[in-house]
Amino acid sequence: MGLPLYGRTWELQSPSNYKIGAPTIGYSPGNDGLMEYDAILKYNNDNGAVEVSYDDTVSTYSYTGKYWIGFDTPSSVGTKVKFANDHGLAGYFFWALGMDTNCALVDEGSF
């Protein structure tokens, strides 16, 4: 099971349709649709982004205006690691450590 330490970014087709599965017109903001975790936190804070989490799908996204970012949080990483351990999965991996420069996701004792 993979645990990304980055987010995927999208430009929404319509700012009023921001839920998971909403149509997009391309990547943005970030570097070709990727944004490092600490950059996500800064972007969300600087731009007043709304953060939405779903416990049943263990997913989180944020949106502001026409921009949408899907990402994991320390809580979702912990839930996924617990799931892997509880179900006897052979393992899990994260990618890429350099995308969590402040170790906010991997320093929570989840691993």
State the SS3 of 21-89: CCCEEECCCCECCEEEHHHHHHHHHHHCCEEEEECCCCEEEEEECCEEEEECCHHHHHHHHHHHHHCCC
Could you report the per-residue pLDDT of 10-69, keeping only the tens digit for each? 999 999 999 999 999 999 877 789 999 889 999 999 999 999 999 888 989 999 999 999
Q: What's the pLDDT score for residue 107?
A: 63
The domain segmentation of the chain, as residue ranges, is 2-99
48 or 103: which leads in pLDDT: 48
What's the pTM? 0.86
In CATH terms, the fold of domain 2-99 is: Chitinase A; domain 3 (3.10.50)
